[in-house]
Every structure is written in structure tokens, then in C-alpha cells.
A and B are shown apart, each in its own frame.
Chain A
């Protein structure tokens, strides 16, 4: 291995370097100039995101433990974009008095989760995959408990760490069964040796259950709502978009490239879990009063729609999943961005508080509307195209009934998204949120989200690029 080949890991190396630089900054910067750390970290990460788009060599490292391909690079870039948006959205929140001591911790922890996710996606071996998952999860638990003097935040942290420990246990058990039946943990060797014997099916079920925890697929979703509600809103948005997206990416890679032999089995599994996830996520979302809990349940149902891209095992499916995650990043972060802006300046997080928002803050309500329409899949915004491609991918393999169930679910989701829109536009607020002007980072992040929501659908080139890099079973 020459030194040059190490740059195959460019994404990870850059992130690690960034984490170290932020740490150095923390050490060397004068305490009363700490607030510049945010600016430094965000611009550093912006540069990294841009560098990610420069074509890079692909290949494998460490004897196949680490592999990367153009598809994987694309996934990493998608995650980087999302993470960058979360970073920008956090700046205002980090300016608060109680966070001033912890700015660099925040960025270091977030970057290390991202490193974990990148290693997870790039894994060529189940051990590497597992290390990646853990690296991606544990710092998040610390972040969930970031407001450590708030009971709910501490509770969210402990709930996240305990439930992910449990899910890791289940996942590991599945992996051990895989190792026991095939004698190897390398993806390509497992793929060749994996078949339909009962023990291997069991191994797959355990593996899937472990992953289902990470993506919060019903019935493994129960941790989601409490953690989402308790965590700081920035972390919630990170959890619901980036963490979920990364887990979705690795799951689809593994299903398509490691478990193609048992496609019939995982199609059944996904069929059932997709229906449950969409329906239960939606039905629970209707009842929520708190807007972050509301978005939490809506994001559960979104995971259900994403599973429709998995089920066909086709190239179109993978393309639509990656595309949808990209769209979902813009839409969900747009919605969260508005929630964050309001929560930062007014500290209000209930749907009732949004009554009459249009009359006081028309721009924020319009952005919220656009984001919610995109989540609901209403044209002409990006969410419509994303959902359409997911459904097309499932229909291509003849899962028409599943598509019908999914589309009917989008109607339910439209109902509760419209409730928020109704609150903003139609309801008369007795105590509406006063007019306020959010600061530059918030507006900048929202601007990117809006541009993403509007442009992604019409710019067909994006989808074509993604599709050309995707593969099927």
C-alpha cells in the first residue's frame, strides 16, 4: 500500500483533520473569542463539503475492510450537504449563554458521528461496519444530552444510548450468526456463501432488526419520539435526517450486494415493515401537539416510504432512495429550520403556538408550507418527484398494492401537514408569535433548503446522475 492510495479515504481523512483542527482551535483560542469557533468550524466544513465533489480515486484499502465506489462517494456527499445545513442551523443556538463553553465539543462530536457514518457506508467487512455504527451512535447520545440541566435532554441521551446498545446487541447477534454460518465477515465472501438455510435467515432477521432500530422502522421505533422531543432541536434534525439517511444507505447497499440471494425473504420483511411504518407513523403523528414530536412521527412514516425503494431490489429503487434522501434532507431541514428559528428566538414549540403565524411572520410560514408540501409529496416541489420515483420503483416489480397503501398513507400525512398549515394561515392566534427577524446563518440555511426544495425536482440531471451510479440486485 503506497501512501497515495490512502487518499481513497479522502472523506474520512478530511473529517478527522477537521475535528482535530477544531480541537486545536479550542485549545489555542482566547476564551472570549470562542464564538468565532462556530464560524471557523462551519466554514471548514463547507470547504470539506465542496472538496467532496471533486472526483476522487476509488478502490479498497486494508485488505478489503474499507471499500469505496462512486456510488458510495455520492452518498457521502449527500450526507455532507445535510450535515452542513445542520451545522449552519446550529450557529445561532450555540451563541446562547449556556452553550458558550461547549461550542467546540458540539462540532467535534458531530464531525465524529459523521466520520462513523462514512466508515459505515464504506465498510467492506462487518466489523468495520459495526465500528462505524458505534462511532456514529455514541457521540450522538452525548449530543442528545447536550442541555444536560434539562431533564428531558438528559432523558433523551440515556434513552438513545440504551436503546442503541440494545439494538447493537441484536445486530451483533445477527452478525455472529452470519459469521458462524459462513466463516467470514467480508461482504463479498458472505454474499457468495449466503443462502436460504434457516440459520442464515435467522441471522438476517436479527441483522435487520438491529438496523431497523437505527432507521426507526416500526416496530422498533419507540425510542424515537422521546429522544427527538428531548434533544436540542438541532440534534433532532440531525438524527432524523443524517443518521437516518446514513443507515438507509448502508442498509440498501447491504441488501443489494450482500443479501441478494435471499431477496424473496427480505422483500416480505420489508413489505410488512413498510406498511406498518407508514401507517403507524402517520396515525401517531396526527395526535401530536408538540411540533418536534410531530416531525418525529412524520419522519418515521417517511422511513416507511423510503422502504418502497428497497423492495424491488432494482436499480431504479436504489436511485430513488438516494434521491429521496437528498430531497428529504432539504425538506425536513427546511421544516426543522423554521422550528429552530422560532424555538431559538421565542422558545415556543407547540403547534398551537403557530396559530396565525402567517400574519406575523409570512416568510417563515411560507417556507414551512413549502417544506411540508414537499414532505407530503405535493407538486411542483421536490418531494413529489421523490415520492413518485419511489412508487415507480416499487411498481416496476409489480408491488401495486403496496404502492396503493403508500399513496393512501400520503393522504393521511397530508391531513396532518395541512393541520399545521391551517394553524399558520387560517387559525386566529390569541397570542401569536411576534414578528422577528432571524439572523444571517438561519436565513442562509433556510435559503439553501428552499432552493433545494424548488430546484431538485425540475433539475432532472440530478436524478440521472444518481441513477447512473446506482445498481440493482
Chain B
């Protein structure tokens, strides 16, 4: 058993354990133990990865394991990680761990809830460790499906509608993706020879340009749907608003990153020529995502909707940066994925906790909460500041890198859209500060809220884990940035080789 497969095996074992648990009271303990183990494992992985790199191992992917699965189609179960995937795995295990604690008080069908949640997580982990397009796709779909039940059963508001909309739109994305992947597969060996799904092997051959032109948009849009690419983002506000807390956390925090990661690892890495040719179309779309998402957030009154739109904006920024196709911007994109993942998970966790106390998510029905629940309020302020890019927290590092990288692009068009995208920072500040002002500061407006209690111990675990990570990245971004940067190098080299600038 290799270390990477453990990331899938542990969730599966946890699910099995929950399944056979007689006493429903122990479900959350078992889940927390399993996901805690996963977190430890992620820390070990980061350590092993860094020490391997330190000792001069410069292979593109480390810990590669490859088992032949379907011989005739050359489908493998192949896993391997580089710095980017290690970072994403660490992010995922943090968010899942926090998510378990944020859903400590779920009572309705408790077993089923945690099973679905962990199943979702195992899909995400599997996606990040895969280097074979088939297994990657398998895990991708595996991560999407439990969402339906999670939102439909444990959600709030128009949950059935939202769950259906989200599932169908995401599966629609995966439909495009499937065709794109098949196209890549059948062009993976233009000179004859064995076709392959292996990303590393495909990256060594040049897929013919006509095929790239056809399959790049399919693949990019396929992943883009999950990354909330305009105009396919509409599932996100409804889905996030209706989902239970932990699911919003996982979904906005991690699942949307599958989109960005896939767009980058599969669409752009394997088909760089077409990506360069067509990037302008998608840059326009992502710029719209960035700006429109931010404006959308201003107009909302429901805390979850505000965050959902803000996620559209921030995830748009990820795709935007990836499309700039230079090292700095891409580095920023990965940082942004991680930073946004942590920050938005923190937001959704806090919103869930507020909602559990005040039973409302409308900002105008709350006010002055800082005096009543100082701990949660301060955490909310921290999350907000991270979101608007305050130096010292992770958001600043990521956005700064993205915009510096994007502005490096020599063409005027790219610089103009960069300036437009930068404007989103200001808009973000508007909606974040407005929420902080009405929600937390000033006198208490609703006397029902005078006697609510502050965070309980499990909530504190959830929140502090995330804040710790946000601050760690903000204060010492270099180790992460270097880890990503070295792994980006081969990818960037491949892109620069065809169009140096």
C-alpha cells in the first residue's frame, strides 16, 4: 500500500466503520478520528515530499504508483503527486477535518450524513492523487454525486431545487469533460502506438492542433462549470445557500478547486497551443466571473448568498490566472485556490454557526453581534479581512501574485482585463466591510440575540484550524510558494517552449 492510496483507503475504511457502528452516538467520533488521521497523513505527506525534494529528487511526480487496470484500453490506476497536488491534498484534509467538527450537531440521519460527507471527501482526494485521466474522471464524478443527497436531505430553503440544479449542471460539465477526455485519449499517440490516459505520458507528446482546438474548449468548460465559470456559475449560489454548513465548506472550499486544478492540469497542460489560441475567449468569461461575482455579492442580503457570489468571483480569479499562462500568475492561481479554499470554508463554517444561534442569515435582521459572541465575531472579521486581501493573511499573497503575473503579459488586451479584474478587490472590500459593519458592529438591533452563546469547543476546533492555516500562509508564504513553484516549472517550460515572451 503506497502512501497516496491511503488517502482513498482511509475514508473508505472510515465509511465502513460507520456503517457497522451500532451506536449512532459514536458516528461523529469515528468520523473525526478518521479525518484526523487523514490530516496527520497529509502532514506526513508534506514532510516526505519536501524532504524528497530537498534531497534532490527532481522527478516531475513523486510517490508514483502504477497498476494496470484495463489492459486493452491501457487504463491504469496511477497515482503520483507534485507540489501542487500535495498542497491541494493538505487543503482538502484541513477543510474536511474542520467540516466534521462544524457538523457536530447534525442529528437527522446522522450516520448517512457522515457517510455521504466522507464519500465526497474520498472522491476529492482520489481526484488530486490521480495522474490517469480515467481514474481522475471516476473520482471527479464520485465527488459530485453525494452532493445531491447532502443538499437534498440536510439542506435548507429550496433544497430540492438547488440540489437538482447543482447536480445536473455539474454532471453536464462532466459530460463535456468526458468527450474532451476521450478526445485526448484517442490523440494521445499521434504517431501510432499505445494510446494512454496517463497525464505525464500525454504531456510528452504533442496532440495535433485541430484536435486541440476541438477538445480544449470541451475540457476547459467541463472543468470550468465546477470552477464557476461564467455563464455556468448559476448552480453555485443556489447550491451553496441551500447546502448544510459542512457541505458548503467542502463544496466551496475544495470541490470548486477541482475545476481550477483540472482546467490547469488537464486542459492547459495537455493542450497548450489551443489554450494559447483560445485563451482570450475564456479570459473574457473569467473576467466577467470575477467582476460580476463581486457585484452580485454586493446586491445580496443573505450571508450565504454573499459568500457564494464571492466564491464565484474568487474562483473566477483562479481560472483567470491560469489562463495567463506564465509562472507567476499560475503560482498565484494555486495559492488563490488554497487561500480561497481555507477562507471560504471558514466563512461558511462561521455562517453556519451564526445561523444555528440566530436562525437567520439575513444581514439586516442581525446587528451588534460583536458584544454578544465576541469569539465568532472576531473570527468573522479575520475571514473577511483575508477575503479582501489584507496583507498578513493568505488572500493578499495569492491575489498579489496573480495580478503581478497577469500584468506581466506583454499584450495590451491582457493588461486591460487585468486592470478590470483588479477592480474586484475594491468591490470585495465594499461588501465585506458592509457586512462586518452591520452584522457585528454597532448596537444590538435584535433583542432575541442578546442571550446567544459563543462558540462551543468543537466549533472552536473547526474555526481555529482554518484560521491557523490562513495566517500561516499569509505570514510565511514562501515555503508553499516554492513548493508550488518548483512543480510549476516543467509545466511552464512546456508552455514557454511554444511561445516565449
Contacts and interface: CB of A to CB of B under 8 A. Distances in A.
Interface residues of A, number: 31
A257 B370 CA distance: 78
A414 interface: yes
A403 interface: yes
Given A395-B186, A414-B168, A460-B69, A380 B152 contact: no
A455 interface: no
A20 interface: no
Contacts of A392: 73, 182, 185
A214 B168 CA distance: 32
A384 B141 contact: yes
A345 B168 CA distance: 34
A467 B70 CA distance: 11
B107 to A, nearest CB: 15
Quick one: which of B139, B141, B149, B178 has the most chain A CB within 10 A? B178
A411 B172 contact: yes
Name the residue among A391, A407, A408, A425 with the largest chain B CB count within 10 angstroms: A407
B71 A408 contact: no
A460 B172 CA distance: 27
Interface in B57-103: 69-73, 75
Interface residues of B, number: 31
Interface string B163-181: 0100110011001101100
B176 A404 contact: yes
Given A384-B138, A384-B141, A426-B153, A463 B72 contact: yes
B172 A379 contact: no
B172 A400 contact: no
A395 B160 contact: no
Interface in A328-357: none
A319 B72 CA distance: 11
A418 interface: yes
A99 B145 CA distance: 42
Given A414-B168, A460-B71, A403 B141 contact: no
Contacts of A380: 138, 142
Contacts of A400: 179, 182-183, 214
B148 interface: yes
A439 interface: no
Given A379-B138, A404-B179, A467 B214 contact: no
Nearest to B172: A411
Nearest to A409: B175
A374 B145 CA distance: 12
A425 B152 contact: yes
A410 B75 CA distance: 23
A400 B186 CA distance: 11
Contact of B167 (A316, A319, A418): A418
Contacts of A467: 72
Given A395-B183, A400-B183, A425 B164 contact: no
A98 B149 CA distance: 41
A426 B160 contact: yes
A410 B149 contact: no
Interface string B129-148: 00000100011011001001
A36 interface: no
Contact of A425 (B70, B141, B149): B149
A434 interface: no
B164 A418 contact: yes
B348 to A, nearest CB: 22
Interface in A365-424: 373, 378-380, 384, 388-389, 391-392, 395-396, 400, 403-404, 407-408, 410-411, 414-415, 418, 421-422
Contacts of B72: 316, 319, 463-464, 467
B122 to A, nearest CB: 10
A68 B175 CA distance: 39
A411 B171 contact: yes
A427 to B, nearest CB: 9
A141 B69 CA distance: 43
A422 B162 CA distance: 13
Contacts of A414: 167-168, 171
Contacts of B164: 415, 418, 422
Contacts of A395: 179, 182-183, 185-186
Q: Which residue among B138, B148, B171 has the maximum number of chain A CB atoms within 10 Å of its CB?
A: B171
Contacts of B134: 388
A401 B183 CA distance: 11
Contacts of A373: 145
Interface in B360-385: none
Contact of A396 (B75, B148, B178, B186): B186
Contact of B160 (A388, A389, A408, A422): A422
Interface string B303-322: 00000000000000000000
A403 B182 contact: yes
Contacts of A403: 178-179, 182
A388 B172 CA distance: 15
B152 A463 contact: no
Interface of A: 316, 319, 373, 378-380, 384, 388-389, 391-392, 395-396, 400, 403-404, 407-408, 410-411, 414-415, 418, 421-422, 425-426, 460, 463-464, 467
Question: Which 5 interchain pairs have the tightest Cβ spacing?
Answer: A407-B175, A395-B182, A379-B138, A460-B70, A426-B152
26 contacts: A316-B73, A373-B145, A378-B141, A378-B145, A379-B139, A379-B141, A379-B142, A384-B138, A388-B134, A391-B178, A392-B73, A395-B179, A395-B186, A396-B186, A400-B183, A403-B179, A407-B175, A407-B179, A410-B171, A411-B168, A411-B175, A425-B149, A460-B69, A460-B70, A464-B70, A464-B71
Interface of B: 69-73, 75, 134, 138-139, 141-142, 145, 148-149, 152-153, 160, 164, 167-168, 171-172, 175-176, 178-179, 182-183, 185-186, 214
Given A373-B145, A460-B70, 10 more contacts: A384-B138, A392-B182, A392-B185, A395-B179, A395-B182, A407-B176, A415-B168, A421-B148, A422-B160, A425-B152
